[in-house]
Structure 1
Amino acid sequence: MSELKTVGVLLVNTGTPDAPKPRAVRKYLARFLSDPRICPMPKVPWWFILHLCILPKRGRVSAKKYAKIWTRDGSPFTIVHEKLMRGLQAQYDAEKAPVIVRVAMDYSKPFVADKLAELQSLGCDRVVVLPLYPQSALSTTGSVKDHVRHALEKLNWNVDTCIIDNYHDNPTYIRAIAASIKHAGFDVDSNDKLLFSYHSIPLNDVEQGDTYELQTGASSLLIASELGLDRVRWTIGYQCRFDKSRKWVSPYTKDVLKRLAEHSDARLFMVCPNFAVDCLETLYDIDYEFKPMYFDDMIEAGRTVDEDCFHYVPCLDKSKAHVQVLYSVLEPYVMEK
């Protein structure tokens, strides 16, 4: 039997500013919004619009939002990823598997290139990259693929590399999301409603072959089926539209919330299955924007408001269930066939 090769597992997500300060946020957003897969127009005019119009305002506004979710130990996004990495590493260590786990970000430290260089220095024979986007998109998983390819070329490292495209229908993932919904208090035997809210993408990406929308629908159906829900108990919305100059995948979450506030007297549970870890779009947007908006719409519709009307289901974050999801997704790839 041949000796097992050392496998480097690289978990990759979007990133976070170094601090909840305008300068740090501008620096982070500049990297993110300069990605060719993100920017909505040719590079030169976009550079001027981005640096002269968007970043000065967004840096200030977003810094205030980040300050609301920042912890004493730093970015919650960074903290959770580090704990998730250690949890997955512990799983492999317990099995004495020759696997080294690292975490990297597309647009902030630790960068993909730096962590690949570390895996190279540690003598990895193979690399398995897992973008932490259960539903892949050209603008997310596609960007990870770009950064990995460029980093490997720069390192001149011709290593056997596999990039996992998505895990939207992985059974362990589906069961974990369903269990988290139940754990949040959702009663499958009541009239509770469930809103799946996903990050939106430009319709132009869909027209160019992006299957993200199909994956979000498939994940929602599988999770609802795992819970035993019929179709009238759940719906889908899309949040985080970046600009109004382009058409984006809809219906928008804010519109779905308004409709539910006006026409449903059931408790509402909102879950965001495409976010592996809670971030600004969940920690801030839901508590400070969507929830108050929903309550205002309820009042306008003449409904009585109380805290039990709306529940957010947290992401899997650093939970043991999340570690098991990632282990399950990686299992077919980490050991040499």
Structure 2
Amino acid sequence: MNRVCWWLIVHLCILPVRGRKSGAKYEQIWTEEGSPFTIAHEKLVHGLSAAFAEGGYGDVVVRHAMSYSDPSIQSAFKDLAGEGCSHVVVLPLYPQSAHSTTGSVHDGVERAVKKTGWKGTYDFIDNYHDNPMYIKALAASIKHAGFDPESDDQLLLSFHSIPLKDIEAGDTYELQTGASSLQIASELGIDRKRWTIGYQCRFDKGREWLSPYTTEVLARWAEAREGRVFFVCPGFAVDCLETIYDIGAELKPFYEEKAREAGNPIGDGDFVYVPCLDRSKAHAKVLFDVTIPYVKERIDG
């Protein structure tokens, strides 16, 4: 679309409407600390910094940045330059890369490099969807939430959907979500009948989006009612509006309603949301494991 037309649509139509809707939802998930999304990232910075220090790389400076909020990617590069850094390792917190997520971060980094006059170099980590520690951490979090591999518990791995047009253009996101899911199921030791993939958070209904949609899976499972449902979002590094609000206020009630309609009312413990790795020490260790090869290459030789 013409850049001027797109800018007008975004700023006059999309952002005002989505801003009001998101603001109303954020009021319901806000904490005493502030935005759970922001706080989690700040905690991760401290956790990852500590992991580097414990690993003998205490000189590594860790900062976080946002694509559409503060601190911005540009401000992060300025800050790192002020700290005397000559090389940056950029890790988008999207385990599975997509044109619309990781790709947009890459564009943002390139703009920041140009606008700040960054003189150093940088590495860009495209994804970590099959990192062994990431897989093990997710499997452990699922078990910690109460999932029993020896029971009839069912596992729904729900990812953010993307337009099919992106996949047709070469986006490998679907392949990566599938690979992550297979490895998580393998780590848990469960067969294919016990788990499935769903896609949530369609931006609009004017395009074809990657499916099956999470709501379709939940409706089918509500009718069948074969066991407890454990809902996990492997593609979300940190809990956010799409997990805290959408699952608790929309998807769980949707599942409960469909179960009642099918004559299969459920109890309080029959739908379990497994939190993201979020601010946990396990998550900091995952990010350390993903980034340390790039750090070692620059520092050790």
Bin of the TM-score, shorter chain as denominator length: over 0.9
Aligned to 1:330: 291
Contact 2:222 2:256 in 1 (8 A): yes
Q: TM-score, normalised by structure 2?
A: 0.96
1:255 aligns with one of 216, 236, 241:
216
1:170 aligns with one of 131, 138, 141:
131
SS in 1 for 2:99: coil
Deviation of 1:54 after TM superposition, in Å, equals 3.1
Which runs of 5 or more residues in structure 2 are unaligned?
none
Residue 71 of structure 1 pairs with residue 31 of structure 2 = yes
More off after superposition, 313-322 vs 257-266: 257-266
Deviation of 1:303 after TM superposition, in Å, equals 0.5
Residue 182 of structure 1 pairs with residue 143 of structure 2 = yes
Distance 1:109 1:180 in 2: 30
Distance 1:154 1:47 in 2: 20
Residue 202 of structure 1 pairs with residue 163 of structure 2 = yes
More off after superposition, 61-70 vs 94-103: 94-103
Contact 2:130 2:180 in 1 (8 A): yes
The letter for the 2-side match of 1:140 is T
Aligned to 2:194: 233
Deviations 1:81-116 (A, max 9, x none): 101100110122233412111111111000000011
Contact 2:232 2:273 in 1 (8 A): yes
The letter for the 1-side match of 2:42 is E
Q: TM-score, normalised by structure 1?
A: 0.86
2:86 aligns with one of 100, 125, 131:
125
Distance 1:49 1:92 in 2: 44
More off after superposition, 168-177 vs 63-72: 63-72
Distance 2:163 2:237 in 1: 21
Deviation of 1:156 after TM superposition, in Å, equals 1.8
Distance 2:270 2:198 in 1: 18
Aligned to 2:13: 53
Contact 2:73 2:109 in 1 (8 A): yes
Aligned to 1:298: 259
Distance 1:111 1:232 in 2: 43
1:318 aligns with one of 279, 285, 291:
279
| Alpha-carbon RMSD | 1.2
Distance 1:56 1:160 in 2: 37
Distance 1:150 1:58 in 2: 25
Distance 1:57 1:127 in 2: 36
Which runs of 5 or more residues in structure 1 are unaligned?
1-40
Deviation of 1:63 after TM superposition, in Å, equals 1.1
- Closer/same/farther in 2, CA of residues 157 and 49 from structure 1, 3 Å limit: closer
Q: How does 1:92-131 map to 2 (within 5 A)?
A: 92-97=52-57, 98-131=59-92
Distance 1:94 1:253 in 2: 40
Aligned to 2:109: 148
Distance 1:211 1:278 in 2: 24
Total equivalences in the alignment: 297
The letter for the 2-side match of 1:207 is E
The letter for the 1-side match of 2:90 is V
1:266 aligns with one of 223, 227, 232:
227
Deviation of 1:49 after TM superposition, in Å, equals 3.3
SS in 2 for 1:131: coil
The percent of aligned pairs where both chains have the same amino acid is 62
The letter for the 2-side match of 1:154 is K
Aligned to 1:220: 181
Deviation of 1:62 after TM superposition, in Å, equals 1.7
Aligned to 2:240: 279
Distance 1:295 1:302 in 2: 11
Deviations 1:159-187 (A, max 9, x none): 12100000000000000000000000000
The letter for the 1-side match of 2:41 is H
Residue 88 of structure 1 pairs with residue 48 of structure 2 = yes
Distance 2:221 2:19 in 1: 33
More off after superposition, 165-174 vs 120-129: 120-129
Distance 1:107 1:54 in 2: 14
Deviation of 1:248 after TM superposition, in Å, equals 0.6
Deviations 1:179-213 (A, max 9, x none): 00000000000000000000000011101111001
